[in-house]
Amino acid sequence: MKDSLTSLSGKKVLVTGADGFIGSHLTEMLISNGCSVRALSQYNSFNDWGWLEQVCPDVNLEVVCGDVRDPHFCKEITKDIDTVFHLAALIAIPYSYVAPDSYVDTNTKGTLNICQGAKENQCSRVIITSTSEVYGTAQYVPIDEKHPLQPQSPYSASKIGADSMALSFYSAFELPVTVARPFNTYGPRQSARAVIPTIITQIAAGKKKIKLGDVSPTRDFNYVLDTCQGIIALAESEKTIGEVVNIGSNFEISVGDTLNIIRELMNSDVEFITEQKRIRPEKSEVFRLWCDNTKIRDLTGFEPEYSIRDGLQLTIDWFTKPENLSRYKIDIYNV
């Protein structure tokens, strides 16, 4: 396996979606690993770099603002880049019911634009970030990469399209693509749309009753630093070129049991209440996600480091700091 590994240290890399939750952590990790990072933040008139505002300035960090929906821009930002980490995406599942067209533009066409730019600029590697949502409710567990893809939401459909577009560039043009498919990631900086930050922020704010959707589905939760390590491991292995590879812990837990661990770690007696508007349409709910991580272990030697309890404690520690908690609008349910 060592013969197929190539260190990213000293290389110039592009991270799209670097202003987001996973992207900002990945940017920090790549800098610490000796990379020179061009970090894409979505353009806005406030010149706000999202979570990159929390990343310490570094001579090896170049922040650029723009939009992956523009093919000409994508051609520019992929110039002189060795490895592309493509994370820019619309990810909120409820919002995809409201605005599905925007998901096709950003997720599917945005991935096409990045692949086209990487092809024209002869980038050495392209890591496309997928999602376990493309599998839909498990037909068998644990879920390996051969599991059927099921578009149970416009979001997952747009990501299936993005993955397929990227893989077509590998087959048609020999673009050195890898599709990284993380299972549910959590940790500091995550949007409060996600269930774990929703619970932590409301408990931290002193709520006695917390409104939730369905807590019966199961997930394979992964601490954000494990997800980032997995993404980097895929980029450093030549064996992953042209492959779809899961990133997960091979550990299944229900949302309800996860919430009870949070309640215990925060010494809370909060009451959970089901709110109808937070429940997905029945055929759209993904009831079971459990990762088979055999392939990433075999190809790269990657093993997750953080247990669910350790990861949740680190997440709680971050969210309960006043300067972090104040960034979240706890009383607003935003799709």
pLDDT in tens, 230-279: 999 999 999 999 999 999 999 999 999 999 999 999 999 998 887 666 66
pLDDT at 2 over 50: no
Residue 4 pLDDT: 58
Beta-bridge partner residues of 209 = 271
Query: Cα 236 to chain center, whole Å?
Result: 19
Cβ 224 vs Cβ 188: under 8 Å: yes
User: How many angstroms separate the CA atoms of 102 and 107, rounded?
Assistant: 8
Instruction: Over range 63-67, report the average pLDDT.
Output: 98
Question: Average pLDDT in the 139-144 region?
Answer: 96
Q: What are the structural domains of the chain? A: 2-187+223-249+289-305 (3.40.50.720)
CB 65 within 8 A of CB 41: yes
pTM equals: 0.94
Instruction: Give the span between the Cα atoms of 308 and 315, in whole angstroms.
Output: 10
Which stretch of 108-117, 186-195, 202-211 has the lowest confidence by average pLDDT? 202-211
pLDDT confidence band for 35 (50 / 70 / 90): very high
Residue 331 has pLDDT above 80, yes or no: no
Distance from the first to the final alpha carbon of the chain: 43
Give the model's confidence band at 213: pLDDT under 50 very low, under 70 low, under 90 confident, else very high: confident
pLDDT above 80 (res 332)? no
Residue 141 has pLDDT above 60, yes or no: yes
